[in-house]
Amino acid sequence: MSTIFGRLVFFVFIFLLGITIFLIYRLLAPRHTPKINGDNAIAELFPIPINGVNQWLLIRGADTTKPILLFLHGGPGSAQIAIMRNFQKDLERYFIVVQWDQRGAGLSGLVPVEEATFNKEQFIADGLEVTNYLRNRFNKEKIFLVGHSWGSGLGYIMAVRHPEYFHAFAGLGQMSRDGEKLAYAETLKTAEKNNHQIAINELIELGAPPYLRLPNIKGTLHQANPGNIALSGMLIRYKWSEALGGDAKYINIRNLIVKELIFSSEYKLTDAFAWIKQKARSINLTYEECNQDLDLFSEGLVFKIPVYFLLGKWDLLTVPSGAVALMEAIEAPQKELFWFDAAHEIHWENPAEYQKVIIKCFLDIED
């Protein structure tokens, strides 16, 4: 008996020692991105000054002569430098893939950023400066642009205003207008279809947007700042959109994000811990302007470049019917919708098919 107990203690000691060594390593190891084999490959992680704020870029590709693809993350605040490397390996064969932690998010939130600068026009200006940095550094007249969720709204505006900088634009989980109204209605409809009585009761108690009264409901992803009724209502609605599979249908999105943040070499462990706090700060400062009140119909409908929307049929965050209506109204030399058996996180739920579509659409333009 004592022998068994001694072995158990030994194994527990080794396990705890391993965890301790790992945590120390993750706290002290410098940020880096793994090398890509090849004489002409690029794998870099670094900050650049963008409109008065140091903002970080991750640049990876097998061949620096290939076209550039700039990916715009969602949120605002859902930085993805630490998350996307394992979901873009196919793209790296055909493009120089650039991930950018936007103002105040991820690595770009490690230094103080003035709250007044968290607004739509500032994000657009930042995005255009990143674009021009890449065009100048790699001597490219134009680059490709991909945006997810909030990034699809940001990318849409950048592309419609400045087509001279871009070959094409692709939006994943594409925003449109009246996004919160559509999300609430579709989430309630899905709850009723699934006979999820708790969700039905809480959503009815909340009431449709604009959210004028907030019931005492717990379990939201973040906390809204005092007085931020619009965000408080959205967080209650989002709790059920996520629970009903409208964020990710086939994977546990929180587990995926936590795993990538903890093990990513691009972030230190302290960066990973700061990620959620920075995300909450960004969404509190920007939610109404960059989400609830965003109207892409009013931003422009005439494009001089090809436009593609990649939509998840189970999406309860940016409900696809809004993007379908937007696409129908758009004038572009080429436009197309692609449907995925996924929810909002298409690039994480179905990374192979997402990359396949992007490669085909963008390389056809290059040819």
Checking if the pLDDT of 318 tops 50, the result is yes
pLDDT at 89: 97
Q: How sure is the predictor about 94, in pLDDT bands with cuts at 50, 70 and 90?
A: very high
> Which tokens hold the place of 354?
């997402």
* Angle at CA of residue 25, ends 23 and 31, nearest 5°: 115
Lowest mean pLDDT among 160-174, 183-197, 216-230, 319-333: 216-230
- Looking at every residue in the chain, the average pLDDT score rounds to 91
Res 22 pLDDT > 70: no
pLDDT at 367: 47
Percent of the chain with pLDDT over 90: 78
Mean pLDDT of 129-143: 97
How far apart are alpha carbons 260 and 82 in whole angstroms?
6
Q: What is the mean predicted confidence (pLDDT) over 163-170? A: 98
Average of pLDDT values for 285-309? 97
pTM for this model (two decimals): 0.93
> How many angstroms separate the CA atoms of 365 and 351, rounded?
21
Average pLDDT score over residue span 109-138: 96
Q: Which residues, listed in sequence order, are joined to residue 97 by a DSSP beta bridge?
A: 60, 69
Q: What are the CA-CA distances from residue 154 to residues 29, 51, 123, 161, 284 (Å)?
A: 33, 17, 7, 11, 17
The pLDDT value recorded for residue 3 is 76
Quickly state the pLDDT bin for 227 (edges 50, 70, 90).
confident
Q: Is the pLDDT of residue 77 over 90?
A: yes
What are the pLDDT digits (tens) for 343-361? 999 999 999 999 999 999 9
Per-residue pLDDT, averaged over 251-276, amounts to: 90
pLDDT at 247: 97
* Cα gap 237→48, rounded to integer Å: 37
DSSP 83-109: TSGGG-TTHHHHSEEEEE--TTSGGGG
**Region 28-32 average pLDDT:** 78
Give the pLDDT band of residue 5 (cuts 50, 70, 90): low
Separation of alpha carbons 94 and 104, rounded Å:
30
Predicted local confidence at residue 168, as pLDDT: 98
**261 vs 22: which has the higher pLDDT:** 261
User: Residue 201: its pLDDT value, please?
Assistant: 94
Beta pairing class for 143-148 and 166-172: parallel
